[in-house]
Structure 1
Amino acid sequence: MSVAGEFEALYGAAPEGVWAAPGRVNLIGEYTDFNDGFVMPLALPHTAVAAVSRRADGVLRVHSADVEGGVVRLDVAALDPRTAADAGWAAYPAGVVWALREAGHPVTGADVHLASTVPTGAGLSSSAALEVVTALALNDLFGLGLSRPELAVLAQRAENAFVGVPCGVMDQMASACAIEGHALFLDTRDLSYRQVPFDLAAQGLRLLVVDTRVKHALGDGAYAERRAGCEAGARALGVRALREVPYVQLPDSLARLSEESVRRYVRHVVSDNHRVERTIALLDAGDAAAVGPVLTEGHASLRDDLRVSCPELDLVVEAANAAGALGARMTGGGFGGSAVVLVPEERAESVAAAVEKAFAGAGFAAPGIFPAVPSAGARRE
């Protein structure tokens, strides 16, 4: 049954519309978004789909085809971050309603039915897809007139202030603003962005996503600790954000930092911003293959300086590169989740097989491997 059909079976009437928003994978630029830095995600074909109708009685009803349990019924006037945990998974769409109302937008309730093909816990922004699809649907239905970046910022606020996860804005911007066949070069300071053509097939290349099946939870404190460390580094260096530390001045800047962990975090963020700039230059020059070593270099920084990798992610990079990949790195928040692997087209299957063999040899669960196809951002279906 379609999402619209499931909605009608649940709520007794057809929805006013159906919307979709994708998950994303980040090519390069990790933990830079909350430091006013540069990122380069692309939208995936995997989407969260929402069938939605307005309500005028202050009631929000949400249901997911992917979560056991019935319809969650909430009072929009009583939505409160202090009790958000009580809503469970429904805190993500409910947080969007809360953020919209907090911003003064007249959202008077809704019936929502959701279904998602974005893998959860894989570092592919399943939560951002839920938030963005809800925000876009409500924007359309209530005639709010918000732009895509404005919807992304409200969705981020839902996750930060309502759900309680201190994520940056990259995930929501990628889901809201990406276009097919392109990567999104985003400056998170002012949300300016450029759509960069990303046709790997034309250069005989493929980007693989390897889902390690190791679940991560960004609300567990490790992400927040690194964010706090980056902010401490910016204060110690007298800048508003680490974005302002020039790469050429990195050694001098590190010498001014006394705390070892802060020094590592600063080194990662400043060097990863530089890696995004190098990647853009290579893509603009038509040399996507040369991005491979930049990815591997980025993984080493995430592993050694930020310390957010795990044995499964490290094994993906090691096994893929040994089997002939051009480069690989973990992507997303880390501690599990996924990696990206850049491979020549003719080696894609053998590299994937090598990763699977390495996982089996290490006694790890079999990974999920699929090509990253740059896809369309949020839209009405």
Structure 2
Amino acid sequence: MGVIEAFRAAFGADPQTVWRAPGRVNLIGEHTDYNDGFVLPFAVPWGVTAAVSARSDGLVRVLSEQAGDEPVTLERLDDAKGWARYPVGVLAVLGDRVGGGADIALTGDVPQGAGLSSSAALEVAVATALNELYHLDMTPMELALASQKAENNFVGMPCGIMDQAASALSKEGHALFLDCRSLGFRHVPLDLASRGLQILIIDTRAHHELADGEYAKRRAECESAARTLGVASLRDVEDLAAALGRLTGDERKRTMHVVTENHRVEAVIGLLRAGAVPEIGALLNASHLSLRDQFEVTVPELDVAVESAVRGGARGARMTGGGFGGSVIALVADDRVDQVKASVSAAYAERGWTEPRFLPAVAAAGAHRVGF
């Protein structure tokens, strides 16, 4: 059953609008967004579709095809639990502007637990639909910020703006270069196919749950380091050696990662603009090592996937997303894809781990209306 049919079955009428928003892969720029830094994500072909109608009685009814057939009915938004917190959080953030309520049916095909930001896709799909229905005239960036606020305040996940911005703003065939302080952005052509290359997503199938405290702990460490250094955020560190001399322990390591990762983002953009696409592989490798050793957010499944992908012939590889599980991306020549897959699969089999899943990453369009 499709989402429109599910909406009809649950609510007895056609939806007034349908919007789809994608998940994302982050090419480079990890854990820099909440440090006012630079990121370079792109949207993926998988996403969340929201069929929505406005209501006049303040009631909210939400249905997810993946969660079950029975809609959740809420008279108070604060009563939302589980997956319903994400769409309802968007309604809560938009507040009186959507005070009439809504009927919402959701379906998604973002691989769950793979670190491809299904939560941001869900939030942005709902936000864009409500923007149309209630004539809010919000820009895509404003909708991304509202979606981020929903996840921060209603779900309790202190994420930065990257995921929601990528879902709302991405352009097909391009990566999104975003300055997370100014919110300035531009679309950077990501033409891999003409150079015989592709980005391979390796879903490690390792547990991925960022709301369990580790993500928040890393963010708090970055903020504490910035206070010690007397800067607004780690993005403002200019003399890294001097900064590291004033820090100790985990705060020192977190600062080293954030500052060098911002430089890596800028370097990747320079290489892409110069047409030196294969050369970004070395920066992907460096990013992963920093995330492993300085930010300490990898797990064995991620490290083994990266190491075995490079050993199998990938130009470079790194974990993508917040870490603690999820996916690796590998830059691979078209004629090496099977070899890389075999190398990673063999390394997993040797350790008795679940077979990883391999997905081709194509830079897709951001949130858009779906005709029906």
Fold conserved between structures, TM > 0.5: yes
1:113 aligns with one of 83, 97, 105 = 105
CA drift of 1:190 comes to: 1.3
Supply the distance in 2 between the matched residues of 1:190 and 1:95 (Cα, whole angstroms): 25
Supply the distance in 2 between the matched residues of 1:348 and 1:216 (Cα, whole angstroms): 25
Q: Establish whether residue 150 from structure 1 lines up as the match of residue 142 from structure 2.
A: yes
Supply the distance in 1 between the matched residues of 2:227 and 2:130 (Cα, whole angstroms): 39
Q: Establish whether residue 314 from structure 1 lines up as the match of residue 303 from structure 2.
A: yes
RMSD over aligned CA atoms reads: 1.0
The one-character-per-residue Cα deviations of 1:171-223 (angstroms, maximum 9, x if unpaired) are 00000000100000000001110100001001111100111111211111111
The one-character-per-residue Cα deviations of 1:272-331 (angstroms, maximum 9, x if unpaired) are 001000000000101110000100100000000111000100011110111111000001
Q: What is aligned with 1:37?
A: 37
The 5 A counterparts of 1:15-34 are: 15-34=15-34
Q: How many residues align?
A: 370
CA drift of 1:3 comes to: 1.4
Q: What is aligned with 1:99?
A: 93
Supply the distance in 1 between the matched residues of 2:162 and 2:91 (Cα, whole angstroms): 20
Q: Secondary structure at the match of 2:294?
A: helix
Worse-matched range after superposition: 208-217 or 88-97: 208-217
- Matched AA of 2:284: L
The 5 A counterparts of 1:254-269 are: 254-257=244-247, 259-269=248-258
Q: Establish whether residue 324 from structure 1 lines up as the match of residue 321 from structure 2.
A: no
1:107 touches 1:138 (CA, 8 Å); kept in 2?
Answer: no
Supply the distance in 1 between the matched residues of 2:99 and 2:112 (Cα, whole angstroms): 28
Q: Establish whether residue 89 from structure 1 lines up as the match of residue 83 from structure 2.
A: yes
Supply the distance in 1 between the matched residues of 2:246 and 2:209 (Cα, whole angstroms): 33
Supply the distance in 2 between the matched residues of 1:38 and 1:130 (Cα, whole angstroms): 24
The 5 A counterparts of 1:361-380 are: 361-380=350-369
1:7 touches 1:13 (CA, 8 Å); kept in 2?
Answer: yes
Q: What is aligned with 1:243?
A: 235
Supply the distance in 2 between the matched residues of 1:97 and 1:106 (Cα, whole angstroms): 7
The one-character-per-residue Cα deviations of 1:200-257 (angstroms, maximum 9, x if unpaired) are 00111110011111121111111111000000011011100111112xx111110011
Supply the distance in 2 between the matched residues of 1:4 and 1:194 (Cα, whole angstroms): 34
Q: What is aligned with 2:275?
A: 286
Supply the distance in 1 between the matched residues of 2:68 and 2:12 (Cα, whole angstroms): 20
CA drift of 1:21 comes to: 0.3
Q: Which consecutive unaligned segments of at least 5 residues does structure 1 have?
A: none
1:18 touches 1:50 (CA, 8 Å); kept in 2?
Answer: yes
1:30 touches 1:272 (CA, 8 Å); kept in 2?
Answer: yes
CA drift of 1:69 comes to: 5.6
1:41 touches 1:185 (CA, 8 Å); kept in 2?
Answer: yes
Supply the distance in 2 between the matched residues of 1:362 and 1:177 (Cα, whole angstroms): 40
The 5 A counterparts of 1:99-178 are: 99-101=93-95, 104-178=96-170
Q: What is aligned with 1:273?
A: 262
The 5 A counterparts of 1:186-201 are: 186-201=178-193
- Matched AA of 2:300: P
TM-score of the superposed pair, with normalisation by structure 1: 0.96
Worse-matched range after superposition: 177-186 or 354-363: 354-363
The one-character-per-residue Cα deviations of 1:43-76 (angstroms, maximum 9, x if unpaired) are 000010111111110001001000136211112x
Supply the distance in 2 between the matched residues of 1:320 and 1:190 (Cα, whole angstroms): 36
Q: Establish whether residue 51 from structure 1 lines up as the match of residue 51 from structure 2.
A: yes
- Matched AA of 2:6: E
Q: Which consecutive unaligned segments of at least 5 residues does structure 2 have?
A: none
CA drift of 1:352 comes to: 1.3
1:107 touches 1:142 (CA, 8 Å); kept in 2?
Answer: no
Supply the distance in 1 between the matched residues of 2:356 and 2:144 (Cα, whole angstroms): 30
2:10 touches 2:70 (CA, 8 Å); kept in 1?
Answer: no
Supply the distance in 2 between the matched residues of 1:322 and 1:106 (Cα, whole angstroms): 53
CA drift of 1:107 comes to: 3.5
